[in-house]
Amino acid sequence: MQGLDFSIVPEYWPLIGKGLWWTVVISTASAVLSVLAGIGFALLVLYASPVVRYPVRLFMWLFMGTPLLLQLFLIYFGLVQIGIDIPAIWSGIIALSLHFAVYNADIFRAGIAALDKGQTEAARSLGFGAWRTRIYIVVPQAVRGTVPAVGNMMIALLKESSIVSMIGIAELVHSAQLVISETYRPFEFYLTAAALYYGLNLILEAVLRGIERKVELSR
């Protein structure tokens, strides 16, 4: 037992701050991609021909039934063995995006199914094609109702982005690990990292509340 000493934390702020920045970058990129891919998957599952629909459903089923860490290992350590060499940072972003896209797709699918059929009929009768109707009329309206549920997914995504530290991406947890290997003070620096995640989480929750209010007003 060596006791705790938080006074050394500020000295390592440059490194920790850099990690924090990368956590924000990776989470934001993955959040955007997971929403876009989620909408895409939802549309394919609902409307594409069986040749496309069933593989997408199989993929969703596979990714919902397995842990993110396993998916990350498959993408980073696995693909390179069959000649697909994706840099660590992109492996991390792809794994996070696909993992959460699958959950988002389920939410969007329910949102689209809940939308009034009259919207589609009206657009079609005004001369919109089937896919133009889905993309310009159905999706924008359906997505509004899904903001709270997708927001919860994004809160989970921010926390789970810590997992990409396992493939050596220099985000917050990995930066903490680097500092710990130098200082031998895991408790202080993991607690610091935890506090920073907590802060990021509060900010994200405030942002999501703002978006929810805006969406409510424009409905």
Partner 1 sequence: MDIALIGRIVPVFVQAAWTTVELSLLSLALGLAVAALVAMLRLSHVAALRFAGAAYVSVFRGTPALIQIFLLYFGGPQVGIQFEPFAAGAIALGLNIAAYMAESIRGGVLSVDRGQMEAARSLGFGEGQSMRWIVLPQAAKLMIRPLGVNAVALVKGTALVATISVVELTYTAQRFIGSTYKPFEIFAVTAVLYMIMVYGLTLLIDRLDRAYAGEA
Q: Residues in the site for partner 1, rule: CB under 8 A?
A: 1-4, 61-62, 64-70, 73-74, 77-79, 81-82, 159-160, 162-163, 165-166, 173, 180, 185-188, 190-191, 193-194, 197-198, 201-202
Q: Give 115 or 166: the residue with its C-beta nearer to partner 1.
A: 166
Q: Give 134 or 185: the residue with its C-beta nearer to partner 1.
A: 185
Q: Are 143 and 193 in contact (CB under 8 A)?
A: no
Q: Which of 212, 196, 113, 208 is nearest to 153 (CA)?
A: 208
Q: Are 166 and 72 in contact (CB under 8 A)?
A: yes
CA angle 199, 205, 210 (to 5 degrees): 130
Q: Give 27 or 133: the residue with its C-beta nearer to partner 1.
A: 27
C-alpha 111/C-alpha 143 separation (Å) is: 7
Q: Give 91 or 133: the residue with its C-beta nearer to partner 1.
A: 91
Q: Give min distance, CB of 182 to partner 1, in A.
A: 14
- Is the CA virtual torsion 49, 95, 64, 104 positive or negative? negative
